Chains A and B, each alone.
Chain A
Amino acid sequence: MSEMGLRRLRRLGVLAAVPLLCTGCGERYFILNPAGPVANVEKNLIVLTFVLTGIVVIPVIALMAFIVTRYRDKPGNTAPYEPEWSESKTLEIIWWGIPILIIAILGTFTVRDTFRLVRPPVASGPPMTIQVTSLDWKWLFQYPGQNIATVNYVRIPAGRPVEFVLTSHAPMNSFWVPQLGGQEYTMPGMAMRLWLQADRPGTYFGSGANFTGRGFAHMRFNVIAMPSADFDRWTQQVKRTAPPLTTAGYKALEQQSVVGQLQYSSFPKGLFEQTIRTDGGMYMKQKMETATD
């Protein structure tokens, strides 16, 4: 294809992306308004796919509209009629070829980013770890570095990569904060790892994304990213003012219920690892090691 043609195609693709991107201008289209490097990588892939698939979708619809108006079976229609014409090597090579090309381009970027996202995002600050447990029907966040815990909200320092280690002590759920990055399943007896990072302070919507029964719709939480100094001040405040999470307190959280936001000045040592073990973690040696390394 000529240089001109390519440029025209590219322009067409960009044009096609406009309506979606316009609706995406609204703050509420979380996926299109990333606030961190992980979500940003994912958004760029989304835009790329949108443009590339547009190269096929738009001509298909336009071609159909043209053909149906041009070749109608009406008296006096002068359009050519070739009932026996049913083969064309050239045409077939074009439409086996172009999709193959598109998929090759897209596939390259997909594989590159799939591998990229399992590593911590490049950032200024040192990484920190937060352990996430999905319960029926609430989220428990434990901060092993700070020795505090929260329920149904989580605060993180902005600009630092955060390693969320995920498990479940209830049916399988999925931990999703669309503006920071994609989701990952929380599974009983297993520890999964998800890197996220917020580039700027703000409050980000999060929710459970995999159905877990009656109270599932209420499993929402906020991720509040704040400057490092504020984060430290907040942890100190929680340590001073909040009650500790006791074993009995955790037993109460395990019960099926919907609760509001809670915070705890400490949690029983090794609670997270213990939870995984009780749910059969001993059968998943490898996963356990990566969780606690």
Chain B
Amino acid sequence: MPASVTNFATHFFVTGEPMIYGADVAIVLVSLAILFVLTYFKKWKWLWKEWLTTVDHKKIGIMYLIAALLMMFRGGVDALLMRTQLMLPNGRFLQAQHYNEIFTTHGTLMILFMAMPFIFAMFNIVVPLQIGARDVAFPYLNAISFWLFFVAAMLLNLSFVIGGSPDAGWVSYPPLADLPFDRGPGENFYLLSLQITGIGSMATGLNFFVTIMRMRAPGMTLMRMPLFCWAVLSASVLIIVAFPALTAALALLLIDRVAGAHFFTMLAGGNPMMYVNLFWVWGHPEVYIVVLPAFGVFSEVVATFAKKRVFGYASMVASMMVITVISYLVWLHHFFTMGAGPGVNSFFALASMIIAIPTGVKVFNWLMTLFRGRIRLTPPLLWTLGFVPNFAIGGATGVMLAVAPADYQYHNSYFLIAHFHQVLIGGTVYGMIAGMYYWWPKVFGFLLGERLARHAFWWFNIGFYVCFLPQYFLGYMGMTRRIYTYPPGMGWTTWNFISTLGAYMMGIGFILIAANIVQSALHGVRDTTGDPWDGRTLEWSLPSPAPHYNFARIPTVHSRDAWWEMKEARRRGEPVQESTEPLRPIHMPKSSGRPFILSVLFFVFGFGMTFNWYVMAIIGLLGVGICLVLRSFEFDTDFYIPVHEIEETEAAYGRS
């Protein structure tokens, strides 16, 4: 082989790590297996027609869900690798460089490629069904959002075997992330994949904002909306106002890196502090973007499984709005120690404490919803109850961190690590898993078995405390984050060892969830009624899984808990007026392959930029432009489902 080719290959592919070679082999084998299965069972056409070109919000939701679970697996493996390295002092399991890459990808994946798609999965699966709509406002854009996220996730994961992973932390502060200290393509992978998925997230935010504002069923005023929709509305507003800051920060840093600009280098009059500010102007609203939908899920779950109206609805809405506004005014608490001065620190300390108030109110309201109810301890409620102490403790440690002078001690220590894992896992992940168990029968038509679900919950929940409570103590003992090794004799060993055991327990919990899904898919109880939990909101009025047009007749809403009221009316023997109306043809969007193709072209652009191969980048970008132009001249984008077809579908579900 000529020397130039060898040289290129050793720089292009990540070499020298046995674990990476293992991953290379695994990736190739899995890819071959997928290709083989698709070909052998003649599923290519099915894949293209049913999934790659779909604009159906329910299918897009399913794809988000699968992607989120896969990314949770990848991020979880990263976490276990790190915990294994830190289990004992002077660990030799990972090298410094490898450890740095792993914690960087762990953070990036978990926030942007696990939490985000997980909440978007819930947005997509639930919102149109809850507000009585047939799809989102912009179905085509919705497909673009998903595929942009998907190719961005692939781009970032590719860095693991090609070019090398980013290694400057998920926050990627310059100057560490800038050229003199970080030459490799890893950092470019980070910047471009975040940029691409960011476009998708922004579009999703706009999409759901418009969907909720414009597409609610007749009679569903804002104050009759299910609380999950309120949560999605708040999160969407936050996405719309916060993501531009991230886009700007990433774009400027990319220009610094590829074009030698000096936005974030002191030397030519730039300033790295601007990046830190911009990043967290997005970064703090971002944690509320991922936690508010979880709050929404909990509100639905407690009401359903307490068989009771949600307590203090108006107060719940108000607290969410207060959180939405204040979450935009607290970003500086991520860097009190930058020394902006006592006045600035005081302002952001107070704002950060104040945001705890509405959050606390919500917890009390959930408890009062359960109070004097009839509680069924199903898996969704179990995860919700698991969330409450987690969030109480995580919220309290959040207030402790908000006390600016005390933060000078906690900052960048394991206390901080324990805190944000407690609120992000205890809040977002518990919430999304609760939501997954809750809406699973609606999406797939069968329930997830309760026995395995319980085991999964307890492994994960107990493992959580075993893993993260010791990390609070490690913080008090002076252990800082992002160190790949530590010396013996600091007193850190015991707590680190225990913490690692807890991480393994959480790993077992995750495997049990996966087993739960597989087992129930094979032997699960089918949901024939469409309303397995005796639900309260409109999605439960539909058969499971819902037909692709959702509602044969758009329901008219007269109160909160619309479906519950309809059932009550039926129980009282009052006539249900909707079902007597004649069916009308349903207007639906057509499937399109272009969102997928456009996203692949974005990938080509991103990959080219990552390696500074500008010809490739320009080709990708031109392709994107052509897709956009073609879409502008496309007029045949929708169709009508004829009445007889609706009748047949409804009859197949046993409904008239």
Bound-state Cα–Cα, A217 to B407, Å: 21
Smallest CB separation, A251 vs chain B (Å): 16
Structural contact, A178 and B478, CB atoms closer than 8 A: yes
Q: Is the CB of B346 within 8 A of A172?
A: no
Binds B, one of A53-61, A232-240, A263-271: A53-61
| A115–B175 CB distance below 8 A | no
Q: Does A87 contact B (CB under 8 A)?
A: yes
Q: Please tell me if B173 contacts chain A, counting CB pairs below 8 Å.
A: yes
Given A96-B357, A280-B268, 9 other A-B residues pairs in contact with their CB atoms under 8 A: A31-B476, A42-B408, A84-B309, A88-B368, A171-B181, A182-B337, A183-B408, A212-B176, A213-B168
Using CB atoms, name the residue of chain A closest to B393. Answer: A57
Cβ–Cβ contact A26 & B491, under 8 A: yes
A73: interface (CB < 8 Å):
yes
Let me know if A114 and B310 touch, CB within 8 A: no
Residues of B within 8 Å of A, CB-based: how many? 92
The interface residues of chain B lying within 8 Å CB-to-CB of A214 are 96-97, 100
User: Which residues of chain B are within 8 angstroms of A24 by Cβ–Cβ distance?
Assistant: 476
Q: B370 at interface (Cβ–Cβ under 8 A)? A: yes
Instruction: Answer whether residue A29 sits at the interface, using C-beta atoms and an 8 A cutoff.
Output: yes
List, sorted by A's number, 22 A–B pairs whose CB atoms are closer than 8 Å. Answer: A31-B410, A49-B399, A50-B400, A61-B388, A68-B377, A87-B311, A88-B368, A96-B315, A103-B354, A106-B399, A107-B349, A171-B173, A176-B412, A176-B480, A182-B406, A183-B408, A188-B272, A192-B339, A209-B411, A209-B412, A213-B181, A280-B269
Q: Are A110 and B346 touching (Cβ within 8 A)? A: yes
B-side contacts of A79, CB under 8 Å: 372
Q: In angstroms, how far is the closest chain B Cβ from the Cβ of A130?
A: 17
Quick check: B346 and A86 within 8 Å, CB to CB?
A: no
B266 nearest CB neighbor, chain A only: A280
CB distance from B87 to the nearest CB of A (A): 15
**With A and B bound together, what is the CA distance between A284 and B339 in angstroms?**
14
Q: A42-B408, A82-B308 are in contact. Are A172 and B176 (CB under 8 A)?
A: yes
Number of interface residues of A (CB under 8 A): 93
Shortest distance in angstroms between B174's beta carbon and chain A's nearest beta carbon? 8
Contacts of B388 in A (CB 8 A): 60-61, 64
CA distance A207 to B480 in the complex (A): 8
Chain B min CB distance to A166 (Å): 9
Partner of A114, one of B311, B349, B360: B349
A99 adjacent to chain B (CB < 8 Å): yes
The answer to the question of A83 belonging to the interface, with a C-beta cut-off of 8 Å to chain B, is yes
Q: How far is the CA of A177 from the CA of B225 in the complex (A)?
A: 52
Contact among A71, A99, A170 with B306 in the assembled complex (CB-CB below 8 Å): A71
List A residues 72-109 near B (Cβ within 8 Å): 72-73, 77, 79-88, 91-92, 95-96, 99-100, 103, 106-107, 109
Asked whether A99 lies within 8 Å of B269 as measured between CB atoms, the reply is no
Q: B342 near A: Cβ within 8 Å?
A: yes
As a 0/1 sequence over residues 465 to 509 of chain B, the CB contacts with chain A under 8 angstroms (1 = contact) are 000000001011110111111110011000000000000000000
Residue ID in chain B nearest A190 by CB atoms: B266
Q: Is A181 an interface residue (CB 8 A)?
A: yes
Closest Cβ of chain B to A63, distance in Å, is: 6
CB-nearest residue of chain A relative to B345? A114
Q: Which of A169-211 contact B (CB under 8 A)?
A: 170-172, 174, 176, 178, 181-185, 187-190, 192-194, 205, 207-211
> How would residues 368 to 380 of chain B score, 1 for a CB under 8 Å from any chain A CB and 0 otherwise?
1111111111000
Contact B337 A279 (CB under 8 A): no
Chain B residue nearest to A81 (CB atoms) is: B374
Enumerate B299-326 residues with CB–CB distance to A below 8 Å: 306-313, 315
Q: A281 vs B269: C-alpha distance in the bound complex, in angstroms?
A: 9
Q: Which of B363-391 contact A (CB under 8 A)?
A: 363-364, 367-377, 385, 388-389
CB-based contact B480/A279 at 8 Å: no
A110 touches B350 (CB 8 A): yes
Shortest CB distance A154–B (Å): 16
Which residues of chain A come closer than 8 Å to B395, judged between CB atoms? 53, 57
| B608 interface residue per 8 A CB criterion | no
B405 at the interface (CB under 8 A from A): yes
Tell whether, in the assembled complex, residue A56 and residue B392 are in contact, meaning their CB atoms are under 8 Å apart: yes
What residues on A are CB-neighbors of B315 within 8 Å?
A: 92, 96
Q: Do the beta carbons of A28 and B477 come within 8 Å of each other?
A: yes
**A249-284 interface with B by 8 A CB criterion:** 279-281, 283-284
Complex Cα–Cα for A208 and B363 (A): 38
Q: Quick check: is A30 within 8 A (CB to CB) of the other chain? A: yes
Give residues of chain B (613-630) contacting chain A, Cβ–Cβ below 8 Å: none
Complex: how many Å from CA A190 to CA B375?
A: 59
Cα A125 to Cα B554 in complex, Å, equals: 80
B361 interface hit (Cβ, 8 Å): yes
Given contacts A42-B408, A95-B364, A178-B478, contact A57 B372 (CB under 8 A): no
Bound CA–CA A95/B393 (angstroms): 17
Q: Which of B162-191 contact A (CB under 8 A)?
A: 167-169, 173, 175-176, 181
B396 close to A64 (CB less than 8 A):
no
Docked pose: A25 CA to B412 CA in angstroms = 23
Give the residues in chain B near A53, CB-CB below 8 Å.
395-396, 399-400
Q: B1 contacts the other chain (Cβ, under 8 Å)?
A: no
Q: Is B356 an interface residue (CB 8 A)?
A: yes
B449-475, CB < 8 A from A: 473, 475
**B274 CB, nearest partner CB in chain A, Å:** 12
| Inter-subunit contact A30/B96 (CB<8 Å) | no
Quick check: is B649 within 8 A (CB to CB) of the other chain?
A: no
Indicate whether A118 reaches chain B with its CB closer than 8 angstroms.
yes
Residues A188 and B266 in contact in the complex (CB < 8 Å), given A49-B400, A209-B413: yes
- Is B265 positioned at the interface, with any CB of A under 8 Å from its CB? yes
State whether the Cβ of B206 lies closer than 8 Å to any Cβ in chain A.
no
Cβ of A245 under 8 Å from chain B: no
Taken together as a complex, chains A and B put the C-alpha atoms of A210 and B338 apart, in Å, by 11
Q: In the docked arrangement, what's the CA distance between A116 and B484, Å?
A: 36
Contact of A279 among B266, B405, B478 (CB under 8 A): B266
| Beta-carbon contact of A103 and B353 below 8 Å | yes
With both beta carbons as reference points, the residue of chain A lying nearest to B309 in the complex is identified as A86
| Chain B nearest Cβ from A193, distance in angstroms | 8
Interchain nearest-CB distance for A291 vs B (Å): 12
**Given the complex of chains A and B, what is the CA–CA distance between A172 and B338 in angstroms?**
10
